[in-house]
Structure 1
């Protein structure tokens, strides 16, 4: 499959790139600094500014699916920057005629009790609040979308480097935790779940989550 991966050198994007390439997919890695993309078979790096809708649409033309690992962590106003970026990605994907958009979401919009989302709890770390709120806004944006076949994958509360096991649970809108109350998933297994969804779509026009 021919994939465009936005943010292919980021915290999550790098693992998505490795997983997709290992399965033999053709990946166009769209990043701000192409020189940071590791040289490997089936991977082509290209420079892109996510906020440039027309330039992004030109790069997306001809692919079978777009995976967005875009984030605004380094920006002053993370939430606003992230939302503008997602609006541009959605518009560019439609303009390029790409039928599928898969998006890396956040854990913050997952429910920890009926009507209570993780980002709104007192324990949620302040330094990640802007990112989490931006990801929640992006989910609302996607849910209002009537043309694209989109999917968002939210991770567990703790998403960290670890081991690729291929063994995990999937859920929908509630935060998943293990028997000890820990909510976690490795970056490697998150990437497995995302590329599984790419290859075998099971969550069209909806959000799902993954955790141990």
Structure 2
């Protein structure tokens, strides 16, 4: 399968690239510095591209060359709100190309497991102030998706904590609530999140909004 990964040089993106390469997929990585990234594996196609300087028609043409497009975009600190604009451009590109688009979302809109009815973003004291800007951007990204009912998109949100740990090759999915383990913790490794994302490539009957975590 031919996969194009937007933002493939970030932590989630690299995990996605590694998982795709291990599966024998044909991978194109698009990022502003894809050519210079020394952490990406050999045997992939790299494209340096600024999505904000790329037309929707160009994005649609690029996406049409692949079977699946995946977004793992995360703007740098101080520019979190760009996530919405970048996601909108990819959704417009997918609309123009008819491509399946898998997006990395955030846990902001997921309900807590305590039965309070609060989400990660709305629960008092749940999030440190340092991550509220990206959480708010992820919530806005989630709302944006409803403007594209005609696009074949799926948004996968990670557990509350993404960990740099070896993958367990396991995960559990939910639709709108944090996945927690027996100790009440919501966690998953980058590797297992990538596994869950790539498993969705051919899951055409999957719900549009999902989350993955360790049970």
TM (normalized to structure 2)?
A: 0.89
Shift of 1:75: 4.6
Of 28, 51, 55, which residue of structure 2 is paired with 1:53?
55
Q: Deviations over 1:151-207 (max 9, x none)?
A: 011111100111222222111100111121111000010011001111333425x11
- Give the conservation status (yes or no) of the 8 Å contact 1:63–1:98: no
- Give the conservation status (yes or no) of the 8 Å contact 2:98–2:152: no
- Hey, which bits of structure 1, 4+ residues long, moved more than 6 A? none
Q: What do you get for the CA RMSD once the two structures are aligned?
A: 1.7
> 1:1-212, aligned counterparts within 5 Å?
1-35=1-35, 36=37, 38-41=40-43, 43-51=44-52, 52-54=54-56, 55-72=58-75, 74-79=76-81, 81-95=82-96, 97-112=97-112, 113=115, 115-121=117-123, 122-204=125-207, 206-212=208-214
Unaligned 5+ segments in structure 1 are none
Aligned residues: 207
User: Distance between the aligned counterparts of 1:185 and 1:69, measured in 2?
Assistant: 16
- Give the conservation status (yes or no) of the 8 Å contact 1:53–1:89: no
Residue 164 of structure 1 aligns to a residue whose secondary structure is: coil
Residue 78 of structure 1 aligns to a residue whose secondary structure is: coil
Residue 151 of structure 1 aligns to a residue whose secondary structure is: strand
Unaligned 5+ segments in structure 2 are none
The 1:64–1:181 alpha-carbon spacing in structure 2 relative to 1, beyond 3 Å, is: same
